[in-house]
Structures are given as structure tokens and as C-alpha cells.
Structure 1
Amino acid sequence: MFMYQNPSFNYVLQADLVGGEGMRPTFFEMAAAQHLPASLRAALLYSLGVMAQRRPILHKVLDYSDEAFAALMLLLEAHSLRISDASFAEALYGLRRRSAVPSSESETVSNNRSNTEPVRLGAVSRRQRNLSVLFLVGLPFLKSKMEAMYNAQRGGALQAAFWGTGDADSVEMEISGDASRSTDQRLGNDATVLQQIRSRFLKLCVQIYPWIHASHEGLSFAYQLLYLLDATNFYTPALHILGIQVTRASGQEMMDASKQIVERRKREFERLRGPPILQTVQRGLLRTAYGFLDYAQSGLIAAVFIFKMVEWWYQSAEQRLTSPTVYPPPPPPPPPKVAKDGIPLPEDRTSCPLCLEKRTNPAMVAVSGYVFCYPCIYNYVNQYKRCPITLVSASEDKIRRLYYDA
């Protein structure tokens, strides 16, 4: 069978995936830059969790991990956009942001592709930088908080429904903490109103978060597919909304950016006023801050990588020396309790608790583990919807036939 393949399409697809051409980043470059903050966050949380085992004070940082990581990324993203017109991850991959709206200072950028015209891109404005920080830090922070509230609400609702204390769609979250419980009696009504508002807000998050998440993921997938097929120059909807295209930074652009950074910092040092001692202190603080920000990208990633390597090395060696070859079996679970109003167990273990005859065609109730005659337990569960011994709720589908009765 002969199948026709379009050579130009295959060429464009391979260029997008592997090496790329011109100033347009490849699909893998954009995907790596997009997923780097999430991977870095996971590595940092894991590292802090390991260190918190010996330094309990770090548990306070883990309790506010979303806020701490958002503050760190806010500092790094704002600094990176200010000095290189690129996000933290994009600067690490040698990318930079350009405004898709042409201006007087626009320059022509060619993708070096067949059947593509050169485009004119301008410099990123201050408004686009500020909105970029919002999309890079603010929206992921809100998404993580909504996801945490959704998981907590749904987890509590499912647990309540599992234990039979409520419905999964109508479980209300209670305000926790000693401060809320010790509120003054004069503010009792206000506390009740706040509790209702919080409960309704959590219910609203549970209802709308799946739709928001599905819409965001679907729209992002559509843009990434179009970017892969060279149908758009915007990798994400956020870049399209901001009117920003991501391109590769040339060597001359990096040299010019370095010169601009040196000149800007020199002017900032010249603007220092006050006594000589105060100027020396201010100059030292500025140099320390600039040094931290300049080496934060490579230093942060290198530190996490080194920590993971050292931990893996010592953990593997310790496991080889101390881990037993055969682990002991876990202890059996405690037997279910017989209800006060339930049917008593017969003295003969081979007898059915319902008919008190020797068991025939044995069957077990999965919610309790007790064994009966299959006709006896089926008729009882069908009528009373519970286990006759523990009185735990059960249904016909919880009855299990046994093919071997000890």
C-alpha cells in the first residue's frame, strides 16, 4: 500500500521538535521552560521535607510552602524580566520575550522557514512586564490554593460519605483553630455568618474548579498543538493575551544586555547619598542583593541537584547496610466488634449464626468478614441492609461466595 507523505510538513515538525531554525524556539525548549518552575518547586519541597526531619523549625516553612515559593518566584521573575526581558526559566534556556505589537523601535525577526514571512517585533513594555509577573506568579499561586481547597473539601466530603455521616455533595467545612472556637460571645452571630460565607465559598470552589482546570488544560493543549504545527507563534494563551512572543536570544543581544545591566547598576551606585559610611553600607547591601539575584538561577538549581545526588548516595549506601533482606509480615487487623443488639456468635465456628446449622454454600459479608450460609445471609441483607452481627450497613453486592471453608 502506498501512502503519501508531505515532505515539507515532516521537515517543519522535525525542526520544531529537535533543533529548530532561526529565532523561533523549538517545542521542547518551550515545554522545558514552562515545566521548570513546577519541577523546581517539587525538588525544593522535597529537600525541605528531608531537612525538616532534623530541623523542626522548617515545618513552619512547609506549612506555608505556597506562599514561600510564590514570594521567591516573585523576586526571581521580577528581576529576570527587568534585566533580560525573559522569565526565570526562559532566561536559563537562552530565550527572551518580545512584544508582538510593532513599535518605532521594532526589529525584523526571521524564522528562516520556507513559506514564512519575517515579522517585526518590539521591545517589551513595562505594562507587559508587570502583567507577565502576574501570569507567571499570581495565577499559579491562585490555582494551587484553589486545588488545595478543592482536594481538602472533596476529601472531607468523601470521608463523611464513606462513614455514613453525610452526603458527598452537602458536607460543610467547619472552621478550625482555637482562635475561632474562643471567639467572644458578642461576635457569635458574626462568626456564624463568616462560617457560612466560608462554607459557601469552599462549595463554590469545589463546583467551579474542575471546569476551570479542564478549560485551562484544554486551551493550553490547543495552543501547544498549534505551536507544534507552526500555526501560531504563541505557545500559551497567556502569551497571546499579553501580546508577547518568545524568541531565542542571540549572542549580541546577551552582550548588549550585560552592558546595560552594568551601566544601570553603575548609575544606581552613583545616586547613593549620605555620609561615606552609610554609602559604603548601602553599596555593600546592593552588591549582595545583585549577587544573589544574578546567581539565583544556576545556583538554586545546582544546589537542589547536588543535594539530591548526595542524599541518593548516602540513602542507597544506608539501605544496603541496614535494610533487612526479608521484612516481617504486618500484624493482622483487629477483629470486628459484635454489636450489642446484633446476633450472637455460635460456639461452633462451623455453624451459621443465622440458622445455627452447619454452614452449606458458605458466603461472607465483606463489611465485617463473618461467614454464613449463602441463602441465609442473602435473605437477611436483602431485607435489613446490614450485617446481622456488627449491624454495619451492607448490600447484596457486599456478599462474597467462599469456595473453601476452614
Structure 2
Amino acid sequence: MAERGAHITTTSASDDRPSIFEVVAQESLMAAARPALHHIVKVLAESNPSRYGTLWRWFDELYTLLDWLLQQHYLSWASASFSENFYGLKRITLGKEVGQRNLPRKEYWKSLLLLVLIPYLRVKLEKIVNRLREEQDYSIQNPTSFHKRCYKAILASYPFVKLGWEAWFLFYQLRYILWNGKNHSPLLRLAGVQLTRLTMEDLHAMEKQEEMTNTLSNAVSLSQRIRSILKKALGAVALSVSSSLSLGVFFLQFLDWWYSAENQETLKSLNNLPVPPPPIHFELETYSPLLPKLKTVCPLCRKVRVNDTALGTSGYVFCYRCAYYYVKTHQRCPVSGYPTELQHLIKLYTPDG
């Protein structure tokens, strides 16, 4: 029995097929980088909403653009993603020899799209589902309306869709371990590639490719030289990002572990926001455009508040309907600008109510 499973943890020197631990480790590398960077941007947005609030609202798109530049550089240079190259792996076409140097154009674009777009779409889908769950708990829609029934159908089917997705990946991993499958992930299968180890010939070829690029850049026309400069600039940005990620990858993994294991600390960090600056004194002639003079008036609708609701992130009080739709649309407090979600709405009960 031990001999049958020995190939799972050990590989011979002549075997170019990576072990399951290598392929899982390279996948967890980028998976750990995203939540760590997300937390850093969140801390910056909470400390200075006016300066870093845009980074927080457009984090998914900015991260996807950065990931696109990074993966495009490594796929064209090393025929591998950043994490695969970090662990000494490369991609080759299914059924081809191990000595293949560069990916064909078709496999290159499929690999790039699957590496970048699938994580982006998955994150967006999870956010949509979480928003629908919050709307189901806090919304004031008619429970028999068409939209409400659609929300319930999506929320009821999503766990089964996620289970099927995870089972699909688990099946490929078990086949890779037990039956020596060529791919540990269905995304590699869809891209038409498989992973193999880098050889000394591959390393020498990458060094020669850099030397040839530097040599040819001295004997080209002006338009080609401009294009080469732009390409080098993008490559330099991707290389600098990859170098910083290489140096800080273990630190990012530690941050990911810390904030996933210490849930109570994470909840405290959400609630311990800095105190907003005091409003302008209303007895003076100056007038704040954000806050009304009367304490019983909602800052949004400028009418007497109905169903008083405070935001847990800033403490300002609004009408429930005003606060709900504003937070749902902008994900921030309308007065202080702090990042705010629907679960931060707090109902206030008056003594005579």
C-alpha cells in the first residue's frame, strides 16, 4: 500500500511531472496575496477615506489589471504564471514533448484569460450573492414580489453551484494523485496545457531571450523602438511587482493566516474606526452643506427623520430608507465617507416609541 502511494510525495529526478504539493502550493501563493492586499487597502481607506476610498471601491478592478500585467509578462517570458514560475514550473501543450519552449498563441491567450478572469468573476459573484443575502435580511420589499422570488431562487441554488465547482476541482486533484492524471485543475485542461518542471535548457533559453531582446532593440526603426520601449515599460512594471511579491509573499501569507484565524480581531478592526471630525458649530454664521441645523432632520432628505437609524461606522443618524439606499449604492457613510455596509445600520428606539 505504501509503495502504491509513494509517487504522491516523492518524484524521481527524471520525472518532469510536479508533485501534488508543488501544484497546490503554487495555487495558494496567489490565493494568499489577494486577501492580504485587500486588507491593507481597507486599512488605508479607513484611515483616510478621501484619499484612499477610490482604491477601496475599485480594488477588484485594479487588482485584476495588475494581475493581467503580471501574468502576461510571465506567460510570454517563461510560459508560466507568476506562481508557477516561482515554484520552478512551466506550461506545455497537452500531448507535446517536455522540451517545448514557448506556448502557442491559442494556448497562451486561453491561459491568460483563465488565470485572470476566472478569479475576478468568482469574487464578483460572491459579492453579488452576499449583497442579495443582505437585501433579503434588511430590505423592505414585498416578500411576494418577483424580485424577491428571484433573490430567493439565486440564494437557494448558489450553494449547490459552489459545491459542484469545488467537487469538479477535487475530482481532478484526486485523479492527478491516484491515477497519474496530466492536470490537477480543470482550468489547465480548458486551456489545453499541462504543468511540468523547468529544466536547465529552459533557464538558459530564457537568459538568451533577454539577451536577444536587448540586442535587437538597438537596430530597429523609430516606431518599432517606441513599441519596444512601451513593452519594456510594462514588463518592468510587472517585473518590479513580481519581485516585491517574491520578497513579501511569506509576509502576505502570514497576514492571510492571521486575519482568517483571529476572527474576533477582524471584527474589532471593523468597529474601531477613527472618530469623525466634529461638525461645524451651528450657532455660528457658517453652515455645513452635509449636516442640517436641526438635530431632528435627516442629512440626506432634509426632512424630519422617520424610523431613526444610525451608522455604526460613524454614529450619524438618518432615516432608515435614506441610509439603506445610500449605503447600498455607495458603500460608505454620506457624512464621514467611512466604508460602510448594510449590517452597520443600527435601529434607534426612542423612549416614547
Q: TM-score range by the shorter chain?
A: 0.5 to 0.7
Q: What is the deviation of 1:141?
A: 1.0
Check the 8 A contact 2:93/2:193 in 1, yes or no.
yes
Q: Hey, what does 1:142 align to over in structure 2?
A: 121
Rounded to whole Å, the distance in 2 between the matches of 1:93 and 1:283 is: 29
Q: CA 1:240/1:307 → structure 2, altered by over 3 Å: closer, same or farther?
A: closer
1:216-227 mapped onto 2 (5 Å cutoff) = 216-227=165-176
Rounded to whole Å, the distance in 1 between the matches of 2:39 and 2:194 is: 34
Are positions 1:39 and 2:18 aligned together? no
Are positions 1:299 and 2:274 aligned together? no
Q: CA 1:49/1:304 → structure 2, altered by over 3 Å: closer, same or farther?
A: farther
Rounded to whole Å, the distance in 2 between the matches of 1:151 and 1:259 is: 49
For each residue in 1:182-233, what CA deviation from the matched residue of structure 2 results, as whole angstroms up to 9, or x when unmatched?
A: xxxxxxxxxxxxxxxxx96x67754554343222110101111111224301
Rounded to whole Å, the distance in 1 between the matches of 2:2 and 2:23 is: 24
Q: Higher relative contact order at CA 8 Å, sep ≥6: structure 1 or structure 2?
A: 2
TM-score normalized with structure 2 length:
0.62
Work out the number of aligned pairs and report it. 254
1:328-343 mapped onto 2 (5 Å cutoff) = none
Aligned to 1:270, what secondary structure does the other structure show? coil
Aligned to 1:42, what secondary structure does the other structure show? helix
Rounded to whole Å, the distance in 2 between the matches of 1:89 and 1:82 is: 14
Q: Hey, what does 1:236 align to over in structure 2?
A: 185
Q: CA 1:100/1:307 → structure 2, altered by over 3 Å: closer, same or farther?
A: closer
Check the 8 A contact 1:51/1:58 in 2, yes or no.
yes
Counterpart of 1:93, as a letter, is Y
Q: What is the deviation of 1:154?
A: 1.6
Aligned to 1:258, what secondary structure does the other structure show? helix
Q: Hey, what does 1:74 align to over in structure 2?
A: 68
Check the 8 A contact 2:29/2:249 in 1, yes or no.
no
Check the 8 A contact 2:36/2:252 in 1, yes or no.
no
Q: Hey, what does 2:311 align to over in structure 1?
A: none
Rounded to whole Å, the distance in 2 between the matches of 1:100 and 1:287 is: 30
Rounded to whole Å, the distance in 1 between the matches of 2:8 and 2:251 is: 36
For each residue in 1:114-138, what CA deviation from the matched residue of structure 2 results, as whole angstroms up to 9, or x when unmatched?
A: xxxxxxx785211101001111111
Q: CA 1:83/1:227 → structure 2, altered by over 3 Å: closer, same or farther?
A: same
Give the share of equivalent positions with the same residue, in percent. Answer: 24
1:142-181 mapped onto 2 (5 Å cutoff) = 142-160=121-139, 166-167=142-143, 172=147
Counterpart of 1:69, as a letter, is Y
Rounded to whole Å, the distance in 2 between the matches of 1:122 and 1:232 is: 22
For each residue in 1:63-109, what CA deviation from the matched residue of structure 2 results, as whole angstroms up to 9, or x when unmatched?
A: 1111111111111111110000001110111100011133xxx457x
Q: What is the deviation of 1:145?
A: 0.8
RMSD: 3.4
Rounded to whole Å, the distance in 1 between the matches of 2:210 and 2:191 is: 25
- Report the structure number with the largest CA radius of gyration: 1
Check the 8 A contact 1:47/1:304 in 2, yes or no.
no
Counterpart of 1:136, as a letter, is L
Q: Hey, what does 2:8 align to over in structure 1?
A: 13
Are positions 1:86 and 2:80 aligned together? yes
Rounded to whole Å, the distance in 2 between the matches of 1:219 and 1:101 is: 22
Counterpart of 1:84, as a letter, is A
Rounded to whole Å, the distance in 1 between the matches of 2:195 and 2:212 is: 25
1:317-396 mapped onto 2 (5 Å cutoff) = none
TM-score normalized with structure 1 length:
0.55
Counterpart of 1:270, as a letter, is A
Check the 8 A contact 2:111/2:191 in 1, yes or no.
yes
For each residue in 1:153-198, what CA deviation from the matched residue of structure 2 results, as whole angstroms up to 9, or x when unmatched?
A: 02211334xx9x654x85848xxxxxxxxxxxxxxxxxxxxxxxxx
Rounded to whole Å, the distance in 1 between the matches of 2:152 and 2:73 is: 38
| Structure 2 spans left out of the alignment, 5+ residues | 256-353
For each residue in 1:235-279, what CA deviation from the matched residue of structure 2 results, as whole angstroms up to 9, or x when unmatched?
A: 1011122221101101221121121133134324532417xxx97
Q: What is the deviation of 1:32?
A: 1.3
Q: Hey, what does 1:133 align to over in structure 2?
A: 112
